[in-house]
Amino acid sequence: MTAWFRIAPLAVLASLAGVADVSAHPHVFVDAKAELVFDRSGAITAVRNIWQFDQAFTEYAIQGLDANNDGKLSDDELKPLADINVKSLKEYAFFTYLTAGDTEARFEPPKEYWLEFHGGRLTLFFTLPIEKPFAVTRPATLEVFDPEYFVAFDFVKDRPLTLDAAPARCRAAFHPPAELDAQTMATLASIPVDQHDLPPDLVNAAASLANHFTVTC
């Protein structure tokens, strides 16, 4: 199973409690947090993502994972799914983009990642190391979003971004996504679950739904 949150069969999604309209984009909902990790020179060295998936998708994703039928999901039982998550996300650039002007950070594959299951929801933790320390000599922008709007990201209101070991002068500002007009939302909602690519005229609309942070030092 690859691209795990994009290939859920329509029949399975339709059977999940809480899914009101499986034909509508988006199909997966994520409550997110992010952290930017700095080194001693004041450069960014990694992005940590914390993504909690909605309950309906969680119910689909964890089917068959409780191998010993004890009603719990251990770290060992969750690890294969975490491995699939990270492998699949690489194809989509981890939905994470860090830029400063025309310069874009290049991420290495995560080595630190895991899944937790609490309160009926899965949470994915993973750290994206940057190939070369990313100096914040001009404003940097961190964006987290799915360009195809299959997955909707909603950042938590309480500390959506943390600056880890950043110089005291560094500041971050959160810019939530713009709201789309009713017609565009209706068009997005009409796209079936088995259509992963958006029509060209909707690509820019989906891009406006990006969560982004501006970081200055």
56 within a domain of the structure (yes/no): yes
Per-residue pLDDT reduced to its tens digit, 158-179: 999 999 999 999 999 999 887 7
Burial of 178 (0-12, 13-18, 19+ CB in 10 A): exposed
How high is the pLDDT of residue 194? Answer: 58
Distances in whole angstroms, Cα of residue 14 to Cα of each of 7, 45, 87, 157: 13, 41, 26, 30
Asked, for residue 1, whether it belongs to a domain, the answer is no
Report if residue 5 sits inside a domain.
Answer: no
Q: For residue 35, tell me if it sits in a domain.
A: yes
Residues 159 and 33 sit within 8 Å (Cβ to Cβ):
yes
Examine residue 191 and state whether it is found in any structural domain, yes or no.
yes
Residue 107 structural domain: 10-216
pLDDT at residue 195 greater than cutoff 70: no
Task: Kindly tell me if the per-residue pLDDT of 49 is higher than 80.
Answer: yes
2 located within any domain: no
pLDDT at residue number 22: 43
CA angle 66, 71, 74 (to 5 degrees): 55
- Residue 3, in any domain of the structure: no
Residue 196 lies in a domain: yes
Look at residue 9 and tell me whether its pLDDT is greater than 50. no
Number of domain units in the chain = 1
For 104-125, write each residue's pLDDT tens digit. 999 999 999 999 999 999 999 9
